[in-house]
């Protein structure tokens, strides 16, 4: 790996850094996916959109920035370092790229402009109660009726479904075909008659996920992306090779740095009473450095070899999500019983701060499930990385 920026990369890094320093709202925490609200958020998104930085990987003709793999890496690194908020999520990462590659001109003209303006939230209708890791076994049905398809079924773990305008939906259109070949890719209107969104409250008590029910929902045939029964292959589409997760690695390091600072200064810290915590904090900082090195390795493969990472991305995902859990456990040890408080607790100094770590501890449990379970990542690493047999 070459750790040095080229002169062009260094200039681009400075451009991104200076832009964030000047334009990013100072009172907004890092966030990604469901969008925000308020004038500060809207102004920030507008400034990103003007540069094509809402969708940095998209071609310029579709409102993106057309960044190279290294430019995307640098952009994501600088945004993470600044803890700058980002719009995007499913809209820019999945829906937009699929439309660019497989959508009709009418679909592109209708949907891509509002995505790059940062004003619309999309969600993903993939997983079902009985179809998670084995997604191709999904059972939501779409039956052709004239110029429409009538959809019945259920999706689950639909992040942002309660605020989404559109859903990218996989539904079975040919139940007699092999399971990978009878699936069609739809754009579903989340406000259409027959769509019901029911919240799923997660372990820390927040509302991110939903289950979505379809009862005789009519989707016009114009809302099919690509060909009927070819949806599984479209679902694999990605426009950007930038899969290094540098944002996650930087976030982990910043989380440990914040924790070290608090362990030294906060009245509830157990650092003096429990010397072993000192060693844990050192371990977590070293591990955050390892996560960064994994990201650098992945981007080196992408930039030099021009290929998408395979098992390397699975290793980084596995390591990073389990690291999140270790950091959260260490944080609770730092604060002892105070770590069980939450932001609603009155009469205790820094209760909101301690609640941050309680939330992190509870929320991190899902990290090793969402986006591909740790078991799946280990299987990929074993078979594709080490060449071990599947059995």
pLDDT digits (tens, 9 = 90+) for 338-372: 998 887 776 788 888 888 999 999 999 999 998 88
- Catalytic residue, candidates 71, 208, 242, 280: 242
Of 234, 259, 285, which residue is a domain's last? 234
Cβ distance 298 to 312 under 8 Å?
yes
Model confidence at 29, in pLDDT bands (50, 70, 90)? low
Cβ distance 178 to 189 under 8 Å?
no
Same structural domain, 200 and 284: no
Mean pLDDT of 109-121: 93
d(CA 29, CA 251) in angstroms, rounded, equals 12
Considering the domain boundaries, does residue 107 fall inside one? Answer: no
Number of domains in the chain: 3
Same structural domain, 137 and 76: no
Considering the domain boundaries, does residue 105 fall inside one? Answer: no
- Which one of 25-34, 323-332, 370-379 scores highest in mean pLDDT? 323-332
Considering the domain boundaries, does residue 94 fall inside one? Answer: no
Q: Which residue has the higher pLDDT, 356 or 198?
A: 198
Is 242 one of the catalytic residues? yes
- Output the domain CATH number for residue 127: 2.40.110.10
Considering the domain boundaries, does residue 100 fall inside one? Answer: no
Mean pLDDT of 98-116: 95
Same structural domain, 126 and 218: yes
- Output the domain CATH number for residue 60: 1.10.540.10
Mean pLDDT of 211-236: 95
Same structural domain, 254 and 351: yes
pLDDT attached to residue 36: 62
Same structural domain, 261 and 379: yes
Considering the domain boundaries, does residue 260 fall inside one? Answer: yes
Same structural domain, 257 and 334: yes
Model confidence at 28, in pLDDT bands (50, 70, 90)? low
- pTM, two decimal places: 0.90
What angle (nearest 5°) sits at the alpha carbon of residue 169, between those of residues 238 and 175? 110
- Chain mean pLDDT for the chain: 92
Considering the domain boundaries, does residue 113 fall inside one? Answer: no
pLDDT digits (tens, 9 = 90+) for 124-171: 999 999 998 889 999 999 999 999 999 999 999 999 999 999 999 999
Model confidence at 34, in pLDDT bands (50, 70, 90)? low
Same structural domain, 21 and 76: yes
Given a cut of 90, whether residue 224 has pLDDT beyond it is yes
Of 63, 87, 111, which residue is a domain's last? 87
Which run of H or of E encompasses 336? none
pLDDT attached to residue 38: 77
d(CA 142, CA 132) in angstroms, rounded, equals 19
Pairing of strands 148-155, 207-220: antiparallel
Given a cut of 70, whether residue 79 has pLDDT beyond it is yes
Q: Could you list the residue range(s) of the whole structural domain that residue 228 is in?
A: 122-234
Model confidence at 55, in pLDDT bands (50, 70, 90)? very high
Mean pLDDT of 222-242: 86
Considering the domain boundaries, does residue 110 fall inside one? Answer: no
Given a cut of 80, whether residue 269 has pLDDT beyond it is yes
Same structural domain, 257 and 326: yes
Residue 119 CB neighbour total at 10 angstroms: 17
pLDDT digits (tens, 9 = 90+) for 290-330: 999 999 999 998 888 777 778 999 999 999 999 999 999 99
Cβ distance 209 to 125 under 8 Å?
no
Of 61, 87, 113, which residue is a domain's last? 87
Given a cut of 90, whether residue 237 has pLDDT beyond it is no
d(CA 344, CA 324) in angstroms, rounded, equals 24
Considering the domain boundaries, does residue 129 fall inside one? Answer: yes
pLDDT attached to residue 303: 85
pLDDT attached to residue 75: 96
Same structural domain, 253 and 345: yes
Same structural domain, 256 and 319: yes
Same structural domain, 190 and 291: no
d(CA 302, CA 309) in angstroms, rounded, equals 7
Of all residues in the chain, the percent with pLDDT exceeding 70 is 96
Same structural domain, 71 and 179: no
């Amino acid at each position: 790996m070459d750790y040095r920026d080229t002169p062009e990369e260094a200039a681009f890094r400075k451009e991104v850094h200076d832009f964030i320093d000047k334009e990013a709202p100072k009172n907004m925490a890092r966030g990604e996916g469901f969008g925000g609200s308020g004038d500060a958020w809207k102004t920030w998104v507008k400034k990103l959109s003007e540069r094509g930085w809402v969708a940095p990987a998209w071609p310029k003709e579709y409102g993106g920035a057309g960044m190279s793999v290294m430019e995307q890496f640098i952009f994501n690194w600088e945004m993470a370092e600044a803890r700058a908020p980002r719009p995007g999520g499913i809209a820019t990462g999945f829906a937009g790229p699929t439309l660019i590659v497989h959508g009709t001109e009418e679909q592109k003209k209708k949907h891509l402009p509002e995505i790059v303006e940062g004003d619309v939230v999309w969600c993903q209708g993939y997983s079902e109660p009985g179809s998670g890791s084995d997604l191709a076994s999904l059972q939501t049905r779409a039956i052709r009726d004239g110029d429409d398809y009538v959809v019945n079924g259920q999706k689950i773990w639909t992040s942002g479904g309660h605020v989404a305008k559109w859903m990218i939906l996989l539904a079975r259109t040919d139940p007699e075909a092999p399971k990978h070949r009878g699936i069609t890719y739809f754009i579903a209107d989340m406000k259409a008659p027959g769509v019901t969104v029911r919240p799923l409250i997660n372990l820390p008590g927040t509302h991110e996920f939903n289950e979505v029910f379809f009862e005789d929902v009519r989707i016009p045939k114009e809302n099919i992306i690509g060909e009927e029964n070819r949806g599984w292959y479209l679902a694999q589409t990605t426009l950007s090779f930038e899969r290094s997760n540098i944002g996650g690695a930087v976030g982990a390091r910043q989380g440990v740095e914040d924790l070290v600072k608090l362990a030294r200064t906060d009245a509830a810290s157990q650092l003096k009473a429990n010397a072993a915590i000192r060693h844990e904090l050192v371990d977590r900082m070293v591990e955050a450095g390892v996560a960064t090195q994994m990201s650098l390795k992945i981007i080196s493969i992408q930039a030099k070899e021009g290929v998408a990472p395979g098992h390397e991305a699975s290793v980084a995902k596995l390591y990073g999500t389990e690291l999140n859990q270790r950091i959260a456990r260490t944080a609770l040890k730092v604060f002892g019983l105070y770590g069980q408080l939450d932001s609603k607790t009155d009469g205790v100094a820094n209760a909101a701060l301690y609640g941050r770590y309680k939330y992190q501890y509870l929320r991190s449990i899902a990290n090793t499930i969402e986006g591909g379970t740790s078991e799946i990542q280990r299987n990929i690493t074993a078979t594709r990385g080490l060449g071990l047999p599947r059995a």
